[in-house]
Structure 1
């Protein structure tokens, strides 16, 4: 085929992709509460919950346009860095720091019951995810050479430490940055780490047998590594970097072909424009990510990324049932994604 013919065939497709990506936007809708938010759970296209510093929690019943805030009495100094919501009535929150606590509400936040507490400073909770409404996990930083892994089988009413949690390398830890360094997709649990090493740790949910794969993300200090992962139809994307030097572009997104035993890391041709703390799968080959330098999108399974917003956010999440995508960050910033 002649070069002119190839250009004529390819150029319209490239123009279409560029126009499609440029149409993406994130609308800032909330700055009422000056809290740093890292916990975000989007139930459907109407109901969403956020959690953050200063013991703050909020719920939206209109797709993120307005929020009802509360500061939990007795927890004014707690930093609730992850939340898992199941409805407008039921949600579970966890704090990072000392003491480590887990709370649950079944009445839309009118009351909260403490379900777990550890005053030992070795207990630092990082992220939470559920395989279903009853079966959930919370991971924490390593204790005695193993990552802390808590399990519930009754919807967060009780939590127990698991003996067969994954082993940690010296200086390795996880980041309580967006609640997405732990993910459960189908029957597979995956964890990404940072610090001295960047690794992907995987195990079947039903039987904890761990497989570890190194990641070619920047690592070697406490501010570096893999911060988040999301799995699509045929691939998993891992993002991260160095939050202390968030403008560096050498560290932030890698394509991992699907299959527990066949995971191979690939560096994108064009990565995001700096540190990214959260990534979420949208549909087809489309993923969206966010971090302090802004938010980015890929429409080709992570091979190339385009920046769509300059604002700093900590986390982005898509509705479990629906298409709503929300963002949350520091100083009360909440954003709604418009495709």
Structure 2
């Protein structure tokens, strides 16, 4: 009897601890109700962040998301700014998908924007861009069976298309998703050559494509994630040392939980499907230690074991979640001008 009582107490205590831990992580809504779908998000530090969306909208905060300064970029009211990369409260770049493909830059906090890249080729559809120092890369869906890459070495002031021979091959009906600006990842984790590119794809096949910046040869590895439909595949990749996490699924079936997340503990050499999988996710971010945050239209999830298992912490719909590299501020954004903050406690 005593053993049974102690066992019941232990179970109750364990459940209580789990409830405390679950309530410690939360998503707090900061604002919503604006007619804009946000997919671009860049968190510079614990105070400064930028968002971008359709209808030419861009906004910046200088007080950790409490207030936002919104604008519709003059002359680009029909542009869909799917990604944004910011360096400060003054300097930022926005990327527009569709035709024409555009990259604009401001150095005065959004008072003025200059076109740094324009392409009217209808085959060019920009999916994402990322930076490591002054080097930046923007990727487009395939043309002539190659993913198209545009590169800069001066923080986005000038751009040049990478030679086709140095660009990764694409299979028939393989593409990338311009869902959160995180299907492309440029990083230096000390394990491989500085400034390496990671790309994740979907459609006919879900692949991880990677190479060092200066190399012609790309390695391609199929991922154990939903694929085979134009709406399915890998949508986002995040890294932390040797631990890499990829999320995705099928955005047309966003409540399904099969094959939506996978992870690697050996820097992408081998991949395993998550043991406890979430619903569709369009973005994943490394938060701290073994912790990853991921979000999508069917909810936001947290993994505390490097992507092995996932727990739902919020039911709201978001497109993107980004954590600053220079602090703790983590924001989420989505449709209807929704912006929120994630906190561990």
TM class by shorter chain equals over 0.9
CA distance in 2, matches of 1:215, 1:10: 38
CA distance in 2, matches of 1:7, 1:208: 61
Quick one: structure 1 residues 269 and 14, their matched pair in 2 at CA, closer, same or farther if it must change by over 3 Å? farther
Structure-to-structure mapping, 1:133-144, within 5 angstroms: 134-144=134-144
Q: 1:298 aligns with which of 303, 310, 332?
A: 303
1:157 aligns with 157
1:325 aligns with 330
Quick one: structure 1 residues 65 and 174, their matched pair in 2 at CA, closer, same or farther if it must change by over 3 Å? same
Q: 1:256 aligns with which of 240, 253, 264?
A: 264
Give the secondary structure class of the aligned counterpart of 2:241.
Answer: coil
1:59 counterpart = 2:60? yes
Shift of 1:210: 1.0
CA distance in 2, matches of 1:302, 1:9: 27
User: What are the Cα deviations for residues 70-109 of structure 1, in whole angstroms up to 9, with x where unaligned?
Assistant: 0011100100000000000100111011110100000000
Q: 2:205 aligns with which of 191, 197, 200?
A: 197
CA distance in 1, matches of 2:186, 2:216: 13
CA distance in 1, matches of 2:149, 2:6: 57
CA distance in 1, matches of 2:140, 2:258: 27
User: What are the Cα deviations for residues 233-278 of structure 1, in whole angstroms up to 9, with x where unaligned?
Assistant: 3311100000001111002110112335xx2111111111x11000
Aligned length: 334
User: For structure 1, which segment, 7-16 or 329-338, has the greater mean C-alpha deviation from structure 2 after superposition?
Assistant: 7-16
CA distance in 1, matches of 2:146, 2:63: 41
Runs of 4+ in 1 over 3 A off after TM superposition: 4-18
List runs of 5+ in structure 1 lacking aligned partners. Answer: none
Shift of 1:7: 11
Give the secondary structure class of the aligned counterpart of 1:20.
Answer: helix
Give the secondary structure class of the aligned counterpart of 2:124.
Answer: coil
Quick one: structure 1 residues 9 and 214, their matched pair in 2 at CA, closer, same or farther if it must change by over 3 Å? farther
CA distance in 2, matches of 1:43, 1:14: 37
TM-score (structure 2 length as normaliser): 0.92
CA distance in 1, matches of 2:17, 2:288: 18
2:192 aligns with none
Quick one: structure 1 residues 128 and 13, their matched pair in 2 at CA, closer, same or farther if it must change by over 3 Å? farther
Quick one: structure 1 residues 258 and 7, their matched pair in 2 at CA, closer, same or farther if it must change by over 3 Å? farther
Give the secondary structure class of the aligned counterpart of 1:54.
Answer: coil
> Any conservation in 1 of the 2:241–2:267 contact (CA below 8 Å)?
no
2:176 aligns with 174
> Any conservation in 2 of the 1:255–1:301 contact (CA below 8 Å)?
yes
CA distance in 2, matches of 1:242, 1:308: 20
1:271 aligns with 277
Shift of 1:203: 0.8
Q: 2:224 aligns with which of 195, 198, 216?
A: 216
1:106 aligns with 107
1:308 counterpart = 2:307? no
2:25 aligns with 24
TM-score (structure 1 length as normaliser): 0.94
Structure-to-structure mapping, 1:67-146, within 5 angstroms: 67-132=68-133, 134-146=134-146
Shift of 1:314: 0.1
> Any conservation in 1 of the 2:225–2:273 contact (CA below 8 Å)?
no
Quick one: structure 1 residues 8 and 162, their matched pair in 2 at CA, closer, same or farther if it must change by over 3 Å? farther
